[in-house]
Amino acid sequence: MIDLENVSKTYSAGAPAVNDINLHIDKGEFVFIVGNSGAGKSTLIKLMLKELEPTTGTIRINDKELGKIKHRKVHLLRRDIGVVFQDFRLLKDRNVYDNVAFAQRVVEVPNRVIRRKVPAMLAMVGLAQKYKSFPKELSGGEQQRVALARALINNPPILLADEPTGNLDPKNSWEIMKLLEEINNRGTTVVVVTHNSEIVDAMQKRVVTIQKGVIISDVKAGGYLYEN
């Protein structure tokens, strides 16, 4: 599902942001990626999205080698990957329905399908009654739910969540994590970058720890070392 082989990324100055990373994530896994600020977590996510190119190494997503995908075809790769960010990134001039529908219109889904799928997705994230609301009228937790609905509306096999609870209070953080777990239980591969050690400890999922661009541990639920 996700394979990184000897992947390094060095910017114009300084040490590598990620250094000789080897990581395999199976279909249907739920994986936390943790580490201090500047450890290389966000660089890793950008590499998986082909927002950045690795300096060395190979990345495969769904058996597609990213280095061989031409720029004009990157949008096809991203149809397989839903993404949720810390800052929600909603369209402020559009209501909840149109924010979620936007992801389908971009890939030219017929309107009749959009009219069926968007309400169903909003119901799944608990926002069926908020479809006419604008982002400024929603709480942080509700905005993140909209972002989740938008990320999932095209049924991607992979969901990447970069600090999805970073701007949320503890109650909303747990609600978002429960949603992510439910999404994972339905078969979506979920990768979550987070600083929230309380959530990581409580959820008992696989945890990959990065320090200074290097994976220093890879542990299954229950504290067992992960074996690729």
pTM (2 decimals)? 0.90
What single-letter amino acid sits at 152?
L
pLDDT at 78 over 90: no
What single-letter amino acid sits at 77?
L
pLDDT at 5 over 60: yes
pLDDT at 75 over 90: no
pLDDT at 222 over 80: no
pLDDT at 157 over 60: yes
pLDDT at 74 over 60: yes
Is the CATH code 3.40.50.720 the one for domain 1-80+157-228?
A: no
Q: Could you report the per-residue pLDDT of 26-70, keeping only the tens digit for each?
A: 999 999 999 988 899 989 999 999 999 999 999 999 889 999 998
CATH 3.40.50.300 residue ranges of the chain are 1-80+157-228
Q: How confident is the model at residue 205 (pLDDT cuts 50, 70, 90)?
A: very high
Instruction: Specify the DSSP class assigned to residue 17.
Output: S
Q: Where are the beta strands (DSSP E) in the chain?
A: 2-9, 18-25, 30-34, 56-61, 64-65, 81-85, 158-162, 189-193, 206-211, 214-219
pLDDT at 228: 46
pLDDT at 142: 94
